[in-house]
């Protein structure tokens, strides 16, 4: 469980990046809600990754 928690931020970043890639390949780049949601996932994943790994290191 600790391993999954440690990788939660990376998983969120990858999900956001996959959504962005899928939108790019399908040509659906005019839908701001999907693009904004995927960027939010990347940002939240980055913050989560930093926060969790800082707590685990301490």
| Total domains in the fold of the chain | 1
Q: Tens place of pLDDT for every residue, the chain, 58 residues? A: 777 778 899 999 999 999 999 999 998 888 899 999 999 999 999 999 999 888 877 6
What's the CA gap between 14 and 21, in Å, rounded?
Answer: 10
- The answer to whether the predicted template modeling score (pTM) of the entire model surpasses 0.95 is no
Structural domain including 23 reads 2-57
């Amino acid at each position: 469980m600790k391993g999954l928690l440690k990788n939660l931020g990376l998983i969120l970043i990858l999900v956001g990046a996959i959504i962005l890639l899928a939108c790019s390949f399908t040509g659906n780049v005019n839908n701001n809600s999907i693009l904004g949601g995927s960027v939010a996932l990347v940002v939240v994943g980055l913050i989560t990754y930093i926060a969790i790994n800082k707590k685990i290191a301490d």
